[in-house]
Structure 1
Amino acid sequence: MQRRYLSLAAAATATTMTLTLTGCGGGSGDGDVTLKLIAADYGDSEANSSQHYWDQLARAFEKKNPGIKVDVEVDSWTNVDKHVEDLVKEGKAPDLAQIGAYADYAAKGKLYSADQLLSIPVQADFTPSLAEAGEYHRVQYGMPFGASTRRLFYNKKLFAQAGITSPPKTWDDIAHDAALLKAHGVKMPYALPLGPEETQAETLMWMLSGGGSYTDTIGKYQINSPENIKTFNWLKDDLVGKGLTGSDPAKLNREDAFAGFADGDVGMLNGHPTLMKQAEAKGIDYGTVDLPGVKGPAKATMGVADWMMAFKQNGHRAEAGKFLDFVYSDKNVEKFSGDYGLLPVTTSASQTMMADDHYAKLHSFLKQLAGAEFYPADKTSWPLVSKTVKARMGAAVGPNGNPAGVLTDIQNTADTEDNSGE
C-alpha cells in the first residue's frame, strides 16, 4: 500500500467516531458472554507459544469483567488463516481473529469497523501508517497487531575478513561487496530468498529500493513499471547472474536464509527484528543499515502488520470492543512487542520503547515505521497477486528468466482480479 498521510482524515474520522461511538465498547451486554478468539502463534517453541501470552491476558481481563469470558485458540501461521476462512464458510465465525488478512471479510460485510468497537483514545493511538494499512474503502476494519520493518543485515566479521570497511549504501556497493565476499569463500555473499515462503516480501523490498512498489500513489497496481523491470533485470544480470547469491533464489526460503546468516554462511541479506535474536544466539556480530537503493538509501522500507478483526456473526460488538480496549492498553502492547521482538502498533507504546535503552537495537526499525510501505492488503485481489508473485518471481531472475515478461504477467493477473472482484 502506498504511503498517505492522514492528519486531516484522522481528524475527520475522530469527529465521525464521536457521533457513532456512543455506548460503544462499554458494558458486557445482558448476561454472561464467551468471546472466541483465534490467534496466530508468534513463538518458535511450546515454551514461548503465544498461547501463554493470551491465556494470561484473558484471565486478567476476566477478573476485571466477570460477565465476559474469553476462549483463546492459538494456531500456527501455516494454518491459522485457512482455519478462520473455513470457520467463516461454515457459518461458525469466531468473535475475534488475529491473522494475516482482513480485506476479503470486510468486502463481504462480515466485520465490525474499528470505530464500532474501540474507544476513541484507543483507536486514535494506532500508529497512523498502520491504521491506514488496515482500511478497506477508507474505513478501518483491520486493527494492527504486531508490526515490523526491514533493514539490511551484514556480518561484520565476514566483511572485515574481505577487507570491506563500511556497509553498502547503493546497489553498486552491494555487488562490489558481494564479489569481495565471494572471493574470500563466503558461501552466500548476498542471500536472496525468492523461494515460495515469503517471496512477496523480498520482492517489495527490492521494488522500493529501485524506486517502485506494487501500487502507485492512488492504489493502482504498477507491478510492471519501468522501475520494477529495471530492478529485477539488475538482480538477474548483476547479482544472480554473477554468482553472488550462492544459491538459486527460487529455491531459497527466508527461514533458510536467516538460518544461514545465524550460522555465519551469509554475508548480507534483508531482515526483520527477529533475526537479531537468532543471530545473537549463535554469536554473530552483525550490523544493520537502511535498505540500499540505486544511488543511495531506498526511498522507504517495507512494513508488515498482522491484523486483529471482529466478526459480526455472533453479535458481541460491545463485549469484543471492551476486550480490545484491554488488549490495546499500553501495558499489554508493550509486553507483546517485547516478548516477540516486534514493533508496537500504538504511538504511546512506540514512544515508551524509543525512550528505553533496553530496546536500543529496535530503535532503528521503529524509526522507519511511520514512513514504511505495506502490502496492498486493502485490495481483495492481493491474496491472488501475492500467491502469483511467490510462484513466479524466483525463476524470473534465474539464468533463463525474463523479468519484464513475468512482471507483466503478474500485472495482467492483478488487473483481471481487480476488475472482477471490486
Structure 2
Amino acid sequence: MRSRLVPGAASLVLAVTALTACGSSSSGSGDSGDSAASPAKLTVWIMRGSMSDGFLSRFETDFESTHKGTTLDIQIQEWDGIGQKITSALASKDAPDVMEVGNTQVAQYAASGGVEDLTAKVTDLQGGDWIPGLADPGEIDGKQYGIPWYAANRVVVYNKDLFAKAGITTPPKTRAEWITDTTKLNTGGDDGIYLPGQSWYALAGFVWDEGGDLAVKDGDSWKGALDTPQSKAGMEFYKQLQALGKGPKDSDEAKPLQADVFAKGKSAQIISVPGGADAILKANPALKGKIGFFPIPGKTADKPGAVFTGGSDLVIPEASRHQALAYEVVKALAGTKWQTDMAKEMSYVPNRTSLANVLAGNEGASVMAVGAANGHATPNSPNWAAVEANNPIKQYMTQVLTGADPDAAGKTASAAITKALNTAS
C-alpha cells in the first residue's frame, strides 16, 4: 500500500492508495565495481505517470551524451504490486541501478534491507536546501536512504465568483481569517467549504500546526498520539471548519469525488492538490478562469499551514552493479537542471526550497510551492501502511464529528495506531 500525492503530466492529480554511502567508491561503504567514468548499461525504474515521455527522453539523451559509452534502460513500473516487486528486487543479486519509490515507502524498504546509505552524499546533493517534508521520510535513524525527487501537497482551491459575491477580495492568510471568510461564504444557499469528514491529511496539517503528530517514537517503539491536547486542538479546528459546509461526516474526498461536487458551482472551497482543478474543469468547463488557489492558512500570517508532502524519492539498491554511475543518475535528477525542467514540465514542486521560483507563472503550482515550505510527512515507520489499511484516523474523525467524546475517541484511535506500528510485518 502506498500513500502519496502523484501529480500527472502538466498538472497534478490526487492518488491515495497507500524508501546511502553506496556500497561503492561513491559512498565509501564498499566496492562499487565501476567508476563514474566507466561505461555501463544502467537500469532505472520509474513509476507509471510520474514523468512525461518527453522529460524522460530529454534526460536519457543528455545523460548518455555526458557519460560516453553509458546507456540508460528506463523501465516504467506499475503501482499495483510494486511493493512486493521492489522488496524482491532489493533482496536479489540483479537489482535495478536506480529506483523511484513513494516517499512514505522509504522506511519500509530500508527496513527490508538492500537499500544503499547515501548519507555521505547529502552535502554534495545540497541536502540542506531540501524540502523537509520530502527529505525527512528518506532519513531513517540518522541515515539518508532516499533522495528527494519531487513533491506535491494540498492547497485551497476556490471559486473566484463566490468569493467576489461574498465581498472577499483577498484570500485569508490566517486560520481566524479563514473561518471568518468561510462563514461569509456559507450563505445564500452556497457551501462555504466542501470538506468531507475523513480528509485525514488535512487534519494532520492542523495537528502539526498545533505541535502534535499522528504518532511519535517512544524509544524503540511507536505510540499513537491522537489523544494528546495538540491533536485534540487540531481536530477542534477541523470540526469548526467542516461545520461551515455540507460535506459528509463519514467519507473522504473520493466519496463522492470532491472535484465533481465543486464543479456544480455551489461550493466555495475544497482542500486539494492544484491539479484537482483539471478534474473540475472537465466536469464543468464553464468554470474556466473562475478557479483560484491559496495556501492552507496557518495560525499566523507569516507562515502557511502545515501540509502533508507527498511525492517520490530515488534509491540505489545495494545489488546495483554500477553504483558510482547510479549515483550520477540520482545526482543529475536531483540537481538544478533537471529539477527545473521537471517542475516546468510536470508542475511538481522541486526538491529544494530555493527552486520554488521556477514555478512562477503557474498559479496553482506556485501556491503549492509556498505551502511546501511547511511540509511534513507521516510517521517514519516501516509499518505505517498498516495504519492506513484500516485507518483509525478516519474512524476517529467521524466519531468526533458526530458527537463522540474526543478524548475517548482519541484514546481508541491512538491504541489502534500503536498496535499497528508495533506489530511485526
TM-score (norm 1): 0.75
- Greater shift, 176-185 or 221-230, is seen at 176-185
Gaps of 5+ in 1: 1-12, 43-48
Post-superposition offset of 1:140: 0.3
The CA deviation string for residues 373-420 of structure 1, in whole angstroms up to 9 with x for no partner, is 2222x3223222233246535533443655444432332233234444
Matched, 1:141 2:142: no
- Greater shift, 75-84 or 221-230, is seen at 75-84
The CA deviation string for residues 65-119 of structure 1, in whole angstroms up to 9 with x for no partner, is 3443322233455664465346557887433221211111212321011246x58
Post-superposition offset of 1:26: 7.1
Contact 2:224 2:418 in 1 (8 A): yes
Post-superposition offset of 1:333: 0.9
User: Residues 382-397 of structure 1: matches in 2 within 5 Å?
Assistant: 382-387=384-389, 388-389=391-392, 392-393=395-396, 395-397=398-400
Tell me the C-alpha RMSD between the 2 structures: 4.1
The one-letter amino acid paired with 2:74 is: V
Counterpart of 2:341 in structure 1 is: 335
Post-superposition offset of 1:143: 0.8
Contact 1:26 1:318 in 2 (8 A): yes
Contact 2:90 2:318 in 1 (8 A): no
Contact 1:141 1:309 in 2 (8 A): yes
Counterpart of 1:99 in structure 2 is: 101
Report the secondary structure of 1:413's partner residue.
Answer: helix
Report the secondary structure of 1:154's partner residue.
Answer: strand
The one-letter amino acid paired with 1:94 is: P
Report the secondary structure of 2:413's partner residue.
Answer: helix
Contact 1:25 1:119 in 2 (8 A): no
Q: Larger helix proportion, structure 1 or 2?
A: 1
Counterpart of 1:267 in structure 2 is: 268
Judged with a 3 Å threshold, the aligned counterparts in structure 2 of structure 1 residues 335 and 79 are, in CA distance, closer, same or farther, namely farther
The CA deviation string for residues 305-361 of structure 1, in whole angstroms up to 9 with x for no partner, is 4211111234332221122222223221111111121111135xx34x427743576
Post-superposition offset of 1:35: 1.6
User: Residues 287-298 of structure 1: matches in 2 within 5 Å?
Assistant: 287-293=293-299
Contact 2:296 2:305 in 1 (8 A): no
Gaps of 5+ in 2: 1-20
The one-letter amino acid paired with 2:316 is: A
The CA deviation string for residues 207-256 of structure 1, in whole angstroms up to 9 with x for no partner, is 234443224698865232122124324544x455x472333451432992
Query: Following the alignment from structure 2 to structure 1, what is the Cα–Cα distance between the partners of residues 58 and 396?
Result: 42
Matched, 1:20 2:28: yes
The one-letter amino acid paired with 1:415 is: T
Matched, 1:208 2:216: no
TM-score (norm 2): 0.74
Report the secondary structure of 1:71's partner residue.
Answer: strand
Contact 1:39 1:72 in 2 (8 A): no
Counterpart of 2:413 in structure 1 is: 410
The CA deviation string for residues 40-76 of structure 1, in whole angstroms up to 9 with x for no partner, is 423xxxxxx6344223322332233344332223345
The one-letter amino acid paired with 1:113 is: D
Contact 1:32 1:68 in 2 (8 A): yes
Counterpart of 1:246 in structure 2 is: 247
The one-letter amino acid paired with 1:332 is: W
The one-letter amino acid paired with 2:164 is: A
Query: Following the alignment from structure 1 to structure 2, what is the Cα–Cα distance between the partners of residues 259 and 329?
Result: 38
The one-letter amino acid paired with 1:206 is: F
Query: Following the alignment from structure 2 to structure 1, what is the Cα–Cα distance between the partners of residues 26 and 41?
Result: 27
Counterpart of 2:158 in structure 1 is: 154
Counterpart of 1:345 in structure 2 is: 351
Judged with a 3 Å threshold, the aligned counterparts in structure 2 of structure 1 residues 402 and 169 are, in CA distance, closer, same or farther, namely farther
- Greater shift, 101-110 or 390-399, is seen at 390-399
The one-letter amino acid paired with 2:147 is: M
The one-letter amino acid paired with 1:98 is: E
